[in-house]
Amino acid sequence: MSDDALFPLALVQPDTNHEGPRVIAPGAVHVPGWLNLEQQRWIVQRFGEWTQGPVPLRAATLPGGHQMSVRTVCLGWHWQPYRYTREATDVNGRPVLEFPEWMLRLGRKAVSAAYSTGAESHQALAELAVHYTPDAALVNFYDRGAAMGMHQDKDERSDAPVVSLSIGETCLFRFGNTQTRTKPYTDVELRSGDLFVFGGPSRFAYHGIPKVLPGTCPDGCGLSHGRINITMRVTGLS
């Protein structure tokens, strides 16, 4: 059985134990515990494969020369500051891995789950779920001491929602506003298995990871330390 077939089987019976969506800002929704431990472990195994190449996990260097503390491997499109390419021209020139079919299906379920909040303003976003077609994923690994400054995800030529999945150590996720990288913002703890979706009026909100809490990986998530975050995006590129 192919890997693509395995994940949806596990997802046929999603965890109904989770608390349901929490609206952080219009269009920005946190769904704690959306992935169960089996699903998390399965994704961690895929992560192990992705890091084998052809493009290795790497810390991107920003235009000022500053190297990010987070290391990233990409699917579908390779992200480098600040554009998407099909080859990792800032790493080793090799082609990026394909965006997996199972992740596309998972992304649709994620958008649908996040926007089933009952809020009228979320109904139109929920209806987008069936056509949601992410074509790039940035898979970040936060090792000891890694963090990410406040930024907007704005290298995409699309305003489709960003779907974020977290596995491993708990982090502090700072979700701000579309105008400034400072207050007002809301700090949310993202734990292993959590889903966060930001679209609609929150799609271009500043956000960042001030810190990851060491030693907080739950037993059975597949990681002994560190944090994996996957963000799926629609690039709008062809």
Residues that bind ligand SIN (CB under 6 A): 138, 140, 148, 164, 166, 173, 190, 207, 209, 229, 231
Tokens 């480098």 belong to 80
Of 31-39, 83-91, 120-128, 149-157, the window that binds Mn ion (rule: CB under 5 A) is 149-157
> What's the Cα-to-Cα distance from 72 to each of 55, 58, 120, 212, rounded to whole Å?
10, 5, 36, 16
For ligand SIN, the closer CB: 102 or 175:
175
With CB under 5 to 8 Å by kind, the binding choice for 234 among Mn ion, ligand SIN, none is none
Which partner from the list Mn ion, ligand SIN, none does 55 bind, CB cut-off 5 to 8 Å by kind? none
- Shortest distance in whole angstroms from residue 171 CB to ligand SIN: 6
Check if the beta carbon of residue 106 is closer than 8 Å to that of residue 82: no
Which CB sits closer to ligand SIN, 190 or 197?
Answer: 190
Q: If binding is defined by CB under 5 A, does position 153 make contact with Mn ion?
A: yes
Closer CB to Mn ion, residue 143 or residue 153? 153
Question: Considering beta carbons, is residue 77 or 173 the nearer one to ligand SIN?
Answer: 173
Q: What is the DSSP string of 159-186?
A: -PPEEEEEEES-EEEEE--SS-SSSS-E
In the bound state, the residue with its beta carbon closest to ligand SIN is 229
- Among Mn ion, ligand SIN, none, residue 173 binds (CB under 5-8 Å by kind): ligand SIN
Query: What is the distance of C-alpha 148 from the center of its chain?
Result: 13
Phi and psi, residue 159, nearest 5°: -105, 20
Q: How far apart are CA 134 and CA 140, in angstroms?
A: 17
In whole angstroms, how close is the CB of 161 to Mn ion at the nearest point? 13
Closest residue (Cβ) to Mn ion?
153
Q: How far is the CB of 122 from ligand SIN (least distance, A)?
A: 21
The residues pairing with 186 across neighbouring beta strands, listed in sequence order, are 175
Answer left, alpha or beta for residue 48, where phi above 0 means left and psi between -120 and 50 means alpha. alpha
